[in-house]
Amino acid sequence: MENLEVWMRGPIAGIPDLLQPVAHTLLQVAEDVSTYTDQLSPQQLWTRPCGNASIGFHLQHISGVIDRMFTYAENKPLTDEQFDYLHREGKENVDISPASLVENLHEQIKQSLQKLTLIDPDTLTEQRFLGRKRIPTTLIGLLFHAAEHAQRHVGQLLVTVRCLQ
C-alpha cells in the first residue's frame, strides 16, 4: 500500500467523504515534497535554475497558500502575521534549512487536516470570499483550491529539483 498514491490507499479517518480528495491531495503534497527535497542542500534551496522560482519559494508558498485558503474558508480575514509571511515568501534566507521548511509544511498540512474533520459537509456550498477584494467563492472552492494549488507548486518544485541535479 505504501507504493500507492495516497488517494488509492482509502479514506482518511475522520475526514468527511466529500473532503477526502482535499485530504488525499494535501497528504500527497507532504509525501512528494519529502521525497523531492530529501537530498537538497541549503545552497540549492534558493537557486533559480533557468529562471525558475526557487525551491525555497515553493516550500514557503505551498504552506502559505494552504494557510490563507483555510483562513478564508473559516470566513476570516488574514492576520498581520499572515501578510508578513506572504511578503517573505521566496526571499532568500540562508538561516532557513530545507528540512525546516519541509517540517513547517508538514505542520501546516497536519493543522489543515484537523480543520477538515470539523467541517460540516452541508456547508460546503456556502459563500465565502477570497482576499481583500472579497472575490465570491464557496467553502469547497477554497478548500479545493488550497489542495490543487499546492499540488501545482509541487510539480514546479520537482522541475526545479531536476534542473539542479
Q: Is 105:62 a contact under the CB 8 Å cutoff? A: yes
**Residues paired with residue 127 on neighbouring β-strands, in sequence order:** 138
- The one-letter code for the residue type at 46 is W
Residue boundaries of the structural domains of the chain: 6-164
pLDDT 10s digits, 53-109: 999 999 999 999 999 999 999 999 999 999 999 999 999 888 899 999 999 999 999
pTM reported for the whole predicted model: 0.94
The long-range contacts involving 102-107, CB below 8 angstroms and separated by at least 24 positions, are: 102/33, 102/34, 102/37, 102/59, 104/59, 104/63, 105/29, 105/30, 105/33, 105/59, 105/62, 105/63, 106/30, 106/34
* CA-closest candidate to residue 29, choices 69, 58, 72, 68: 58
User: Which tens digits make up the pLDDT trace of 4-21?
Assistant: 999 999 999 999 999 999
Q: Looking at domain 6-164, does it have CATH number 1.20.120.450? A: yes
Residue 117 and residue 45: Cα distance in Å, rounded?
A: 33
- pLDDT score of 88: 95
Quote the CA–CA distance of 46 and 68 in Å, as a whole number.
23
Work out the number of other CB atoms within 10 angstroms of the CB of residue 76: 11
Burial of 97 (0-12, 13-18, 19+ CB in 10 A): middle
Instruction: Please give the pLDDT value at position 50.
Output: 87
